[in-house]
């Protein structure tokens, strides 16, 4: 008998005008000691399945049909109090962001103790003993000491271990993990996934892993369920589904995952879902305003030369210089970017890659070293007019498409603003024409200009960001994790758009990402960063085929293996 059985589950969210069906007709089961993955893109209803099982659907959502069984006992219709007793005791849950899922004002110990003592008839000292054993078993050293600390004294990976310990502390039979590693670095992700796999086998727990990440699915699941728009489109053994997907959606989803193994010209696009940027009127770059006036001074040698760049942040201020403390975010970094190439920077969070982008654009002032752009030394620019002239030539695309656009401005104003600011057009009518053309060119259509940013999806907003960056006719584009907030199918579209634009306009790009597969597809040369230092710079293929630095090799090893994913029968367009 399976631990969890879901039959024909239907979850509805009644709205003002109509009922939104988040999950429809989903049938799943998980056995003890096995891991079932639920995969899909945002809005597919995969988290709703998990919340429905544990009984924590956001009001006014409710289970409108179907049955949920735990060990053969029906649980979806239990009264509130009995349902609550199941939580933690029979069903544990792990959340996405370890930084926010622990109460910041309580020690780890008190959070563990209250949970253990809510569910198990143990005395305080027995419960404490159990808590220490648990913390040890999730791989935190010095358990009896660390348990007395507060969540903020743990790193992200350690906090996720604490969360896992909390989810397991009353020995549940089923654990639901909702995007358990999405917020973590790739090396920490590998450790947490190993830990989850180990605990699942050792304790014979059934595990439901909800994720958008094919790598996680390939890594730890035994079975996988693919969801699309609230429905189950494919369900079976992981090797079967990933190796020989039957449903066209699964096929296109798998083909859209960037390949780390070989470089392809373009990303395969998931045309099953959201239309891949409706083909709009294309503009002829050569004769258009965008292509004109690109008479930048010719450079011999690299376009950007960075030499011994340093940045330190003050972590403790004091009026005495000797008492000040600094954090060295970028340490003596030197590299060149050639005209027309895409240079990739890869590294884990905190490695200083975004800081470099901000130093180049002038958002931060460097503490030392030089940045040569063409023939101009950026660090010594004093005159505001010169600074603006340089800024016009370099533009940035940010990671979060939700916070990087002003929510109170119309899209046409957002894109038109840099044109007006730099006085690149002679009249308002011309500005309007250029904005319309830009919107057409990035695949949104001129009509989008009248709308506000909140009316667009994440991918569409990133297109707006790109149009805004192009509006100053830049020569150098810095993309800071431009797709890491997006679903894989949307990511493929955006990356293709960037590639096209680069070819048409001859842009030079600095592309920053933590995702090695994306980096491989996008970049000509790659720099690997760690703790503010540049470990290695080499050509794209060489980095992947013959990495020199031990850290690069470590990163490459940690990439989730996607060998399972069948590519042979999929078109690589």
Binding site for another protein (CB under 8 A): 54, 56, 84-89, 92-93, 95-97, 100-107, 114-115, 118-119, 150, 152-153, 163, 166-167, 169-170, 316
Angle, in degrees to the nearest 10, between helices 411-421 and 458-470: 20
Our CB check for another protein shows the closer of 183 and 397 to be 183
Our CB check for another protein shows the closer of 130 and 223 to be 130
**Token pair listed for 450:** 């009248």
Report in angstroms how near the CB of residue 105 gets to another protein at its nearest.
5
Separation of alpha carbons 277 and 114, rounded Å:
51
SS3 185: coil
Our CB check for another protein shows the closer of 156 and 243 to be 156
Report in angstroms how near the CB of residue 93 gets to another protein at its nearest.
4
Our CB check for another protein shows the closer of 97 and 500 to be 97
Report in angstroms how near the CB of residue 240 gets to another protein at its nearest.
31
Report in angstroms how near the CB of residue 569 gets to another protein at its nearest.
41
CB 442 within 8 A of CB 463: yes
Task: Give the number of C-alpha atoms closer than 13 A to the C-alpha of residue 32, restricted to the C-beta side.
Answer: 11
Our CB check for another protein shows the closer of 93 and 471 to be 93
Our CB check for another protein shows the closer of 55 and 474 to be 55
Question: Which DSSP string do the residues of 429-445 spell out, in sequence order?
Answer: HHHHHHHHHHHHHTTS-
Nearest to 107 by CA among 146, 143, 161: 146
Report in angstroms how near the CB of residue 45 gets to another protein at its nearest.
18
CB 487 within 8 A of CB 212: yes
Report in angstroms how near the CB of residue 88 gets to another protein at its nearest.
3
Our CB check for another protein shows the closer of 160 and 395 to be 160
SS3 21: strand
Task: Give the number of C-alpha atoms closer than 13 A to the C-alpha of residue 567, restricted to the C-beta side.
Answer: 15
Separation of alpha carbons 250 and 254, rounded Å:
6
CB 434 within 8 A of CB 467: no
CB 23 within 8 A of CB 62: no
For the chain, the maximum distance between any two Cα atoms, rounded to a whole number of angstroms, is: 80
| Strands of the 174-178 sheet, one edge to the other | 91-94, 174-178, 206-211, 35-39, 223-228, 231-237
Our CB check for another protein shows the closer of 150 and 272 to be 150
Separation of alpha carbons 352 and 370, rounded Å:
17
Our CB check for another protein shows the closer of 287 and 321 to be 321
Report in angstroms how near the CB of residue 103 gets to another protein at its nearest.
5
Report in angstroms how near the CB of residue 57 gets to another protein at its nearest.
11
Report in angstroms how near the CB of residue 112 gets to another protein at its nearest.
10
Question: Which DSSP string do the residues of 311-365 spell out, in sequence order?
Answer: EEEEEE--SSGGG-EEEEEEEEEEEEE-TT-EEEEE--TTSSHHHHHHHHHTSS-
Contacts of 304 (CB under 8 A, 6+ apart): 336, 337, 360, 371, 372, 373, 476, 508, 510
Our CB check for another protein shows the closer of 73 and 420 to be 73
Our CB check for another protein shows the closer of 115 and 251 to be 115
Report in angstroms how near the CB of residue 211 gets to another protein at its nearest.
17
Report in angstroms how near the CB of residue 90 gets to another protein at its nearest.
9
């Amino acid at each position: 008998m399976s631990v969890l059985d879901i039959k024909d589950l239907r979850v509805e969210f009644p709205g003002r005008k109509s009922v939104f069906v988040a999950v429809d007709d989903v049938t799943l089961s998980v056995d003890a000691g096995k891991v079932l993955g639920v995969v899909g893109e945002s809005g597919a209803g995969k988290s709703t399945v998990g919340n429905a099982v544990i009984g924590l659907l956001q009001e006014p959502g409710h289970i409108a049909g179907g049955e949920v069984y735990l060990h053969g006992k029906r649980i979806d219709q239990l009264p509130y109090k009995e349902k609550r007793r199941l939580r933690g005791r029979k069903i544990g849950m792990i959340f996405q962001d370890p930084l926010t899922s622990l109460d910041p004002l309580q020690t780890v110990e008190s959070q563990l103790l209250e949970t253990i003592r809510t569910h198990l008839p143990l005395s305080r000292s027995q419960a404490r003993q159990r808590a220490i054993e648990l913390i040890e078993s999730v791989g935190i050293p010095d358990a009896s000491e660390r348990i007395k600390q507060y969540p903020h004294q743990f790193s992200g990976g350690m906090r996720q271990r604490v969360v896992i310990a909390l989810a397991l502390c009353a020995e549940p039979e089923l654990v639901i993990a909702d995007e358990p590693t999405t917020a973590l670095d790739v090396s920490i992700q590998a450790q947490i996934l190993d830990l989850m796999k180990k605990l699942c086998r050792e304790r014979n727990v059934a595990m439901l892993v909800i994720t958008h990440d094919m790598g996680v699915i390939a890594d730890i699941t035994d079975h996988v369920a693919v969801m699309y728009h609230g429905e189950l489109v494919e369900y079976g053994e992981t090797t079967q589904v990933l190796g020989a997907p039957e449903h066209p959606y699964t096929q296109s989803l798998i083909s859209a995952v960037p390949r780390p193994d070989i470089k392809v010209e373009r990303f395969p696009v998931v045309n099953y879902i959201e239309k891949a940027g409706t083909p709009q009127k294309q503009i002829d770059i050569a004769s258009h305003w965008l292509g004109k006036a690109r008479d930048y001074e010719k450079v011999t040698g690299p376009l950007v030369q960075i030499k011994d760049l340093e940045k330190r942040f003050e972590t403790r201020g004091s009026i005495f210089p000797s008492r000040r403390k600094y954090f060295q975010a970028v340490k003596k970094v030197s590299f060149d970017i050639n005209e027309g190439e895409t240079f990739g920077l890869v590294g884990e969070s905190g490695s200083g890659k975004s800081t470099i982008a901000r130093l180049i654009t002038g958002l931060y002032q460097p503490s030392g070293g030089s940045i040569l752009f063409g023939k101009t030394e950026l660090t010594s620019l004093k005159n505001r007019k010169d600074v603006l002239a340089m800024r016009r030539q370099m533009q940035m695309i940010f990671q979060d498409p939700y916070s990087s656009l002003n929510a109170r401005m119309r899209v046409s104003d957002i894109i038109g603003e840099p044109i007006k600011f730099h006085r690149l057009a002679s009249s308002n009518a011309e500005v309007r024409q250029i904005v319309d053309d830009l919107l057409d060119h990035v695949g949104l259509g001129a009509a989008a200009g009248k709308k506000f940013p909140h009316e667009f999806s994440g991918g569409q907003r990133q297109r707006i960001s790109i149009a805004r960056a192009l509006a100053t006719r830049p020569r150098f584009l810095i993309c800071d994790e431009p797709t890491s907030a997006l679903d894989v199918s949307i990511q493929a579209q955006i990356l293709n758009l960037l590639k096209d634009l680069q070819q048409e306009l001859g842009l030079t790009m600095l592309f920053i990402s933590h995702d090695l597969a994306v980096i491989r597809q996008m970049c000509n040369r790659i720099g690997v960063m760690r703790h503010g230092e540049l470990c290695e710079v080499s050509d794209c293929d060489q980095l992947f085929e013959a990495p020199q630095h031990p850290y690069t090799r470590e990163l490459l090893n940690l990439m989730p293996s996607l060998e399972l994913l069948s590519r042979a029968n999929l078109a690589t367009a």
